[in-house]
Homo-oligomer: A and B are copies of this chain.
Amino acid sequence: MADKTTYSISELAKEFDVTTRSVRFYEDQGLLKPARRGQTRIFSSKDRVRLKLILRGKRMGFSLAETKELFDLWDETLTGNEKQLLKMLAILDNKRAHLEQQKNDIAQAEMEMETAETRCREALAELQKRKESQTEQPSSEKAGA
């Protein structure tokens, strides 16, 4: 299934849970370059990989333009001159910094989510206690303000 060599637009759309509209849009923006049989697009496994990369890029907060730039530079690493190669290396450095930022953000978020979860569970426990004491004799009440 995954080692097929060609794909229709709807096959790809279905596999990655995107609309055909999106796939066509990505082609329009120069991120995918499917072959054609007549009018019909025929996607290669390279296209499939790129679609996967596009979607991951999106999840990581990259714009389509950024991803396209990476694709283009990547292709140029095969034929490119020194200047382009150095640019690619520079961009890779930037991306690495980006990844570090993301890792920090994630670590922070994880910590805060633990705090949040604890607070929620404590609040729930508090509610439980009140429920139980409501069942007993209404002897005392806690202050509220």
Contacts and interface: CB of A to CB of B under 8 A. Distances in A.
Contacts of A106: 60, 99, 102-103, 106
A121 B80 CA distance: 12
27 contacts: A56-B105, A56-B108, A59-B101, A59-B102, A59-B105, A60-B61, A60-B106, A60-B109, A74-B116, A77-B116, A77-B120, A77-B123, A78-B123, A80-B123, A85-B120, A85-B123, A85-B124, A85-B127, A88-B116, A89-B121, A95-B109, A96-B110, A96-B113, A102-B102, A102-B106, A103-B106, A106-B106
Copies of this protein in the complex: 2
Given A77-B116, A77-B120, 4 more contacts: A60-B106, A77-B123, A82-B127, A102-B106
A interface: dominant SS: helix
A88 to B, nearest CB: 5
Nearest to A113: B92
A46 interface: no
Contacts of A96: 110, 113
> How large, as a class, is the contact surface on chain A?
35 or more
Across the A-B interface, give the 5 residue pairs with the lowest CB-CB distance, nearest first: A85-B124, A88-B120, A85-B120, A61-B61, A56-B105
